Structure 1
Amino acid sequence: MKQHSRKRLPAVIGAAVAAVVVLTGTTTAHAAEDHSATRAALNSFQSAAGPGAAVYAGNSAGSWTLSAGTGTINTVKPIRSDEHFRIGSQSKTFTAATVLQLVDEGRVALDAGIDTYLPGTVTGNGYDGARITVRQLLQHTSGIAGYDPLGSIALVEPDGTYKLTTLIREGLKRAPVSAPGGGFTYSNTNYLILGLLIEKVTGQPVHQAVTQRIIEPLGLTHTVFPVPGHRSLPTPSVPGYHGGRLGPFFFWSPVLDYDPSVFSSAGAVISTLEDLTTFYQALTAGRVVSPAALAEMERPSPVTPIPYGLGIVRTTLSCGGDAWWHNGAVPGYLSETMVTKDGRHASVMTNAYLASNPPLQQLNTLLDTALCEK
């Protein structure tokens, strides 16, 4: 669920599996040659990533999928664009869009202190919820320190789930890293607080609010914000792995079961490459929030080292023009979706997250190549 900066910007032994190319959507079999640069970039990414990787890309004329490696170890099983996986911090864009809908409805003000809605929640240890605004939480300029909820495994409730209030209290035990608005620090606590804000304002659990406001209206039938306690992935799905690489060999073991409520509004959503593309395209086309709210989402703070807005990031492509993206990492998965406003899109995932050495440069190159390849 850790999100990584872009500057142009969190045993089974087997031999390496050869790359497999799969084409779907409107592309035909002979069209494989049309995407040779993207296929090479995908192979480079997968060789440093998990057992398998896939990219779902295209433009307003159609979409196609390339897969490398395997979705299931000890088999040759290409990853498909309609298979479910945990999207990690790409969930933050869903949460941000929900908050901006509440802004559109006049129920939340971006520049109001979070104490306006959650009095007494962000307090103590140097924090003052009257000074930390909703906008600052959305853009990670609140000064709240970074926090990995998986480190709070001991905070589990008797039923095996996690409460937002408990996770937030644990996150706020870390001292502030800057004054509110004084700097950019990526912190899951920001988005856990925003999840609690959604619950307080809507009167619904955050998973229900995001589902009813974002997932269902957009027809994202393969996207799920799981109910606390629901640990399984819908079918079809791509299994996630822990492990690493040593020369031509890889060492993978399945990710142990955990309850997604430990990530909640900061990273619990499950989706597919296809549904993620639909979501980001709808958002950037102005079909999720108002034009004014979208402009706020796309406007980065001047103190951010990357153009991070309100739950979405801007980048400039090598072929010119801007694209919008967010990435995500949770145990078993690393993913990212990037779209442009002229219809180009690329969504990438691999079924392992190598926390010590994630292949972010190869991921960036793959996305840029998929969007820029002629």
Structure 2
Amino acid sequence: MAAAVAVALGVLASSAVAPSAASAAGRPDTVRQGLNALVHEDGLPAALASVTDRQGRTRDYTAGVGNVATGSKVPVDGQVRIGSSTKTFTAVVVLQLVGEGKIDLDATIDTYLPNLVHGDGFDGHRITVRQLLQHTSGLPDYEDLVGNDIREHRYFEPRDILDIAFQRKAVFPAGKGWSYSNTNYVVAGLIVQKVTRRPFAEEVDRRVIQRIGLRHTYFPVPGDMTIRERHPHGYARDAADAPLRDVTRIDPSAAWTAGQMVSTNSDINRFLTALLAGRLLPQAQLAQMRTTVPIADTGAGYGLGIMSRPLSCGGVYWGHGGDIDGYENRGGVTDDGRAANVTVTRIPVDGAGTRHVEEVVDTALCR
């Protein structure tokens, strides 16, 4: 790890709000401690968090360094690539169109995109829109077929992505299992474009981002490899003992509607809070979204572009999380208004690192 990380600047709490009662009483701030551990023990260059309590009070935190080469501070609530948290935005757009009568959740892909989806063991006239959003379609994933260098620097059209995915066999017959596949959400994005006759980026901006005033969230246009506002740099390691590689500047098009968006921790919290409060979907579609299938024996469930996860203090929280080159985020909101999102600037090399990120989320929501 570079020297700049070894002398990490520690956690900085935003001064925009008053400290929590726990902090005021002199007790240790467990979120602060958790972020410090992600930097010092898990070796992640930076960690950022935004936490909102039941009373609507928000605190933003940072730990580590925003740029390993310079040792610069992490920008408070800086913009980051959000990876698969994009899927919840995509699902909301699809479900808004369901509410408008323009898409039927139980119609097949071929209803909207005839003859597009076909391959070894899968066919678009057997897979429904609901199965796409819930990862019960059996469509194979493409992510590991696209090498890092290609993925980071090449522009992909959505149908290029499907050509890669459809080299593989179906994971199972449609509706006969659950398997996470980015391919599902690329197809869902194409359905949105076919129905609306508009680019997906315009639809998500108009229907979600502008509607609830997310000022730091956007869907990058083709060729946009930068992050527009203040942001921590993102890093990758090609092997456990390899040096850090700066991957802040990439072409995210290989992720498209499965994972291309840029946002901040606080904007993700605002989005999920507005979603659960019924500000983005009619109650019928929100209820469909929150109807889950189990994810193995994890205790988590997957709905339509959103997950429920159990909390150590009881109950569940709703969110998604995402990984994309340089960034990993986890978080969600509870039905009583608590919200927390945590981002680190390198995808952990093993499951233990990701569990530690999720533990900080649990701490933030349960403290």
TM, length-normalised to structure 1: 0.88
Could you say which residue in structure 1 is the equivalent of 2:175? 181
How far is the alpha carbon of 1:323 from its aligned partner?
0.9
Q: CA–CA distance in 1 between the matches of 2:12 and 2:274? A: 26
Deviates more, 1:120-129 or 1:279-288: 120-129
- Matched residue type, 2:30: A
> Conserved in 2, the CA contact under 8 Å of 1:56 and 1:81?
no
Deviations 1:53-91 (A, max 9, x none): 021112133011222211211445443443111000000
> Conserved in 2, the CA contact under 8 Å of 1:53 and 1:71?
no
How far is the alpha carbon of 1:154 from its aligned partner?
9.6
Matched, 1:311 2:301: no
Deviates more, 1:75-84 or 1:285-294: 75-84
Q: Superposed, which structure 2 residues align to 1:37-56 within 5 Å? A: 37-46=30-39, 47-56=41-50
Q: CA–CA distance in 2 between the matches of 1:21 and 1:155? A: 35
| Structure 2: runs of 5 or more not aligned | none
How far is the alpha carbon of 1:196 from its aligned partner?
0.5
Q: In the alignment, which of 226, 233, 256 is matched to residue 239 of structure 1?
A: 233
Matched, 1:347 2:341: yes
Deviates more, 1:193-202 or 1:353-362: 353-362
> Conserved in 2, the CA contact under 8 Å of 1:182 and 1:303?
no
Q: In the alignment, which of 251, 255, 262 is matched to residue 259 of structure 1?
A: 251
Q: CA–CA distance in 2 between the matches of 1:32 and 1:89? A: 38
Q: Superposed, which structure 2 residues align to 1:282-361 within 5 Å? A: 282-301=274-293, 306-356=300-350, 359-361=353-355
% identical equivalent positions: 38
Deviates more, 1:282-291 or 1:250-259: 250-259
Could you say which residue in structure 1 is the equivalent of 2:7? 17
> Conserved in 2, the CA contact under 8 Å of 1:49 and 1:352?
no
Structure 1 residues 282 and 104: CA distance shift in structure 2, 3 A: same
Could you say which residue in structure 2 is the equivalent of 1:121? 116
Q: CA–CA distance in 2 between the matches of 1:197 and 1:263? A: 16
Could you say which residue in structure 2 is the equivalent of 1:5? none
Could you say which residue in structure 2 is the equivalent of 1:138? 133
Q: CA–CA distance in 2 between the matches of 1:135 and 1:191? A: 11
Q: CA–CA distance in 2 between the matches of 1:82 and 1:154? A: 28
Matched, 1:230 2:224: yes
Q: CA–CA distance in 2 between the matches of 1:108 and 1:204? A: 15
How far is the alpha carbon of 1:14 from its aligned partner?
5.0
Q: CA–CA distance in 2 between the matches of 1:150 and 1:236? A: 32
Q: CA–CA distance in 1 between the matches of 2:343 and 2:301? A: 22
Q: Superposed, which structure 2 residues align to 1:98-109 within 5 Å? A: 98-109=93-104
How far is the alpha carbon of 1:356 from its aligned partner?
4.7
Deviations 1:139-180 (A, max 9, x none): 101001222077068989xx9532111211221221001111
Q: CA–CA distance in 1 between the matches of 2:282 and 2:170? A: 33
> Conserved in 2, the CA contact under 8 Å of 1:85 and 1:270?
yes
Could you say which residue in structure 1 is the equivalent of 2:184? 190
- Matched residue type, 1:85: V
How far is the alpha carbon of 1:31 from its aligned partner?
4.3
Could you say which residue in structure 2 is the equivalent of 1:4? none
Aligned to 1:99, the other structure's residue is in SS state helix
How far is the alpha carbon of 1:282 from its aligned partner?
0.6
| Structure 1: runs of 5 or more not aligned | 1-10
How far is the alpha carbon of 1:42 from its aligned partner?
2.0
Q: Taking CA–CA contacts closer than 8 Å with sequence separation of 6 or more, which of the two structures ends up with the larger relative contact order?
A: 1
